[in-house]
Structures are given as structure tokens and as C-alpha cells.
Amino acid sequence: ESLISTNQAIEEASQAGFVTANGTGLSLNGQPYQFSFANQYYLFYKSQTMVDEILQDSLALGLNAIRTWFFCDGMYKEGVSFQPAPGIYDESGFRNMDYLIYKASQSNLKLIIPFVNNWDDFGGINQYVKWLLGASPSYGEHDLFFTDPTIKGLFKDYINHFLNRVNTYTGIAYKNDPTILTWELANEPRAYTDSSGTILNPWIDEMAQYIKEIDSNHMVSAGIEGWYGYNSGVDFVSSQLSPYVDIATFHLFPDYYGLSSDQALQWIKDRAYDAQNILNKPVYIGEFGKTVYR
């Protein structure tokens, strides 16, 4: 595909209400765009009343986006699941997401959505591996998620179902809904046996490309924590070099990482600099948290 046609597609998407990346900046409806958001992981299994209240609170705080989970694999949470068994998609989760997307659109709030969790909460990567092995995976077997063809096929099927889901409230397929700000491949993906990027980075490229083949409207983010030097297979720069990753991200928990305030600020500055000067991509802090002592 030519650069001209690609740029034209990006411009058309921006004019149609989708947030698009343009170099190190973002655009919406032809104008520069910035977003501020909070994380609310539990919206997919809570009542519509609580969803409405969270959206109202977000607006009151001056936010224009929310990052929230779109996964629940191999289990039910308060009677709600997305994929209780491999390749089985449950309406309980999807109908709740239909409502959230519908109400967020009405509130002019956009959504940041990861497809799977690195951690065992709500199933996660290890649940996919357990489906393959028939038993709980060991520490190293966790990384089969990124390399095993059967698991990758199962994950792609889930993504495909998700992107083509037609919202029962709006009649709009998720892949065509500008309420979505960006897809995240995973929440904090880690490859524990990877010390060079040879496991995680090809997976990021493959899955981001797969999303783009189905959905050319939305940005894709890797969802990584953004370490340097292949800590758990992750490197802020190389893990986000893929041309199919539109926007860079990282997480920051200064107290948990043992960082002073000055070190935390430098953590941000280093990644902002590399996003601008090496990746030539926008960047956002996907999660930030301070420990509060009472």
C-alpha cells in the first residue's frame, strides 16, 4: 500500500471521529487531540447504574477517556464472562460492553481497551496456556502464549469476534465505532524467558498487524509496562517499533519501583524523548499509581 493512500486513510479516519496518530501527535476531526483518563477495570461486570455513575464522575474530573478491561477468560466474574471456554463467547460480557460503549459515546468519552491480561486476574495469558496444556502452566510455560500456533489462533479468533461485534444498542460494529480510542494488545504483557525481544516483539508485530487487517480505523498500542533492556522480554523502544503499533505506552508506579520523585520524573522524560525522537510516535502513561499510607 502506498504512503499516499495510507496517509489518506488516516486523514479520513480522523475526519470521521476516530483518533489517529500523526507523527508524535494525535488528531481528531482534523484538529490536534489530547486525552486524560482513569483506569476502571471492573466496568464490564458491574451494573448499568454503576457504569453511569463512573462515566459521570469521569466527566466531573475533566477526563475524556477511560481505560477498562475487555476480557474475562475461563471464568465468570459476578455472573459475567467474555470467553468462559476456548472459542465460546458469552453474551453476558459483550452485552455489558455494548452498553458501556453506547453510554461512553453519549458522554463524549473514549475507551482504551486491552484484549487480555498478563496476570491471572480474569483468566489472563495463563488461562490460554492452561487450555492448551490441560494443566496450570509453570513460570516458563507462560510464554507459550506468544509462540504456540494454537494459542495464537485462539487469541486471533477472540480479537476477530471482538472487532466484528455489532453493538446491540447502536448497531455499530466495534471496529467502526469511534468511541474506541485505541486497542491494547494486552495489559502489561511479559515474556519471562525472553532476554532479547525475540519472543515478545514478533508477537506484538503479528497481533498488531492482524488487528489492522480487520480494523483500519483504530490505533493499536502494545500495552507494555515500558522497561528498558528486555526486562521480562520488554524494551520500551524495540517492543514498540512495529509499524502496526501507532501509539507508545508505559506504566509507572514510583513507590513499587523504588523511585524518588526526581527519578520518576526522569522515567517519564526518558520515554517521552525516545517516543518522539526514536519511535516518532505519540506516547501515554497507561497506568500510574502512588502508594498512600493512612
**Cα–Cα distance for residue pair 235/25, rounded to 1 Å:** 22
**Cα–Cα distance for residue pair 167/193, rounded to 1 Å:** 39
Q: Of how many residues is the chain composed?
A: 294
Q: Note whether 204 and 194 are within 8 A (CB).
A: no
Query: 141, 184, 188, 225: which one is catalytic?
Result: 188
Those residues whose C-beta lies under 8 Å from the C-beta of residue 152, and which sit 6 or more positions away, are 146, 203, 206, 207
**Cα–Cα distance for residue pair 149/65, rounded to 1 Å:** 34
Query: 11, 91, 141, 287: which one is catalytic?
Result: 287
Check if 53 is active-site.
Answer: no
- Grid cell locating 230: 528486555
Bridge partners (DSSP) listed for residue 38: 66
**Cα–Cα distance for residue pair 119/126, rounded to 1 Å:** 8
Instruction: Determine how β-strand 180-184 pairs with β-strand 65-67.
Output: unpaired
Nearest to 236 by CA among 226, 225, 221: 226
Orientation of helix 149-164 relative to helix 200-214, angle to 10°: 30
Check if 287 is active-site.
Answer: yes
Among all residues, which ones are annotated catalytic? Answer: 188, 287
